[in-house]
Amino acid sequence: MRKNIVFAIVSIIVIVVVINLLRGCPPPPDDVWVGNRVIASFPKDSINEKLGEMPAMAELHIDASGSMKPYFRAEGTSMINTLSEIVNLDVSGTSIYHKGERCTGLVRDILKNISETEKSDPNTLFHEFFESAACKIDTTNTIIYLVTDGIMSIHDRSKNMSEALVELSGKIKNSLEKHPDLAGAIFRYVGGYKGVYWNCKSDDVPLKEQIDRPYYIIALGSKETMRWLESVPVTKLNNPDRLFMGIHDLDGHKKATLAHGENTKIQDINNDVTLILDLPKCLHDIDVSNVVLTNNDSKLKVDVIKEETLLRAIIPPTIPLRPESDGRIKIELSIPNIIPNSWIGEWNCDDDTDGPDSTSTFGLGTLVTGMFNGLEKDSDFLSVVFTYKRQ
């Protein structure tokens, strides 16, 4: 009897303790941002960035302009290795072309033959090549590569090419923008260069000795194909600097939703508000250096930090925020869709009359800008609106 009484008392005590614990730790309500943590994430399947497979065919075109020969004549194996790695991605499915004619044999022998015996075209018009390649990609499961020095040029070599850069950029944009499933990439390498250099005024500049010069591989394919190429380790591409264009679903990058509704209140008006964005897989490697936070079009002086797969920004209560007419606070987190500065700044040259160097390429910024404007369809790379109510 005594045991039963003791057991009953202990049970009552346990029940009382549990009830008190539960009262002290209630589940988070849906109408309050607990801890002032405003959380957004991307719903499943809100971003359509399907990863494709290696295409059935590949074409590797060797720029036929005379300014390419000094790369082929230089001592060293940089360009040979680069083109060999591209071919090695699909040995049986890759065809090599020069001036529209198919070449056979080892890459080494093809480049040697071009250097010694083949006549070159005076220049390369990128927009004409891009238009032809894009139309083929529209109907064929293929990827098309162009190995080039990246130098912008025009048919009339008696003219100063600097005067035509803006127009050429527009032509490149127009050659690419009419193909909605098209994406591209540009890979930058550095290799030996031995011979004569032609500057923007079509003056020949003989080089006394071999120097290093940048060269490029431009790739075009469907969006799924170019996502496959992005997944290829750089070691299998001879370790280039890379810039991909047109591979992201920019509309999907605007579809983040709040964990609670837009009328949810923060818990404590006197404390910091923490904005948290849970990034999808395609944005895990995002660069946060250009992230902007705005309230009513006014930029907030708040740092955004990346913690593994989260973006986090802390808004102190001392920062003035202008509410909407209904009292809600809206803060937009955005990242502009821009070209990395190295491609249009450090590696670009708009006047090479002093001769070539080992870093810059005449007109590279024009080439990359034209491609970027033709393949990227939005000025925002990412845009998320955080909304909450004060008490």
The yes-or-no verdict on residue 213 having pLDDT over 50 is: yes
- Retrieve residue 43's tokens: 């719903």
Over range 153-179, report the average pLDDT. Answer: 81
Cα distance between residue 38 and residue 29, in whole Å: 13
Instruction: Note the pLDDT tens digit of each residue in 259-304.
Output: 999 999 999 999 999 999 999 999 998 989 999 999 999 999 999 9
Instruction: Note the pLDDT tens digit of each residue in 119-155.
Output: 656 566 899 999 999 999 999 999 999 999 998 776 5
Per-residue pLDDT at 6 = 41
Contact assessment for residue 190 and residue 217, using Cβ atoms and an 8 Å cutoff:
no
Give, in order, the Cα–Cα distances in Å from 63 to each of 111, 187, 211: 11, 15, 20
The yes-or-no verdict on residue 17 having pLDDT over 50 is: no
Question: Torsions phi, psi of 331, nearest 5?
Answer: -125, 125
pTM higher than 0.85, yes or no? yes
Over range 109-128, report the average pLDDT. Answer: 79
Over range 335-355, report the average pLDDT. Answer: 94
Instruction: Note the pLDDT tens digit of each residue in 39-79.
Output: 999 999 999 999 999 999 999 999 978 788 899 999 999 99
Distance of CA 330 to the CA centre of its chain: 28
For the chain, give percent helix, strand, coil, nearest 5. Answer: 30, 30, 40
Q: Lowest mean pLDDT of 158-167, 277-286, 375-384, name the range.
A: 158-167
Of 375, 340, 352, give the one whose Cα is nearest residue 172: 375
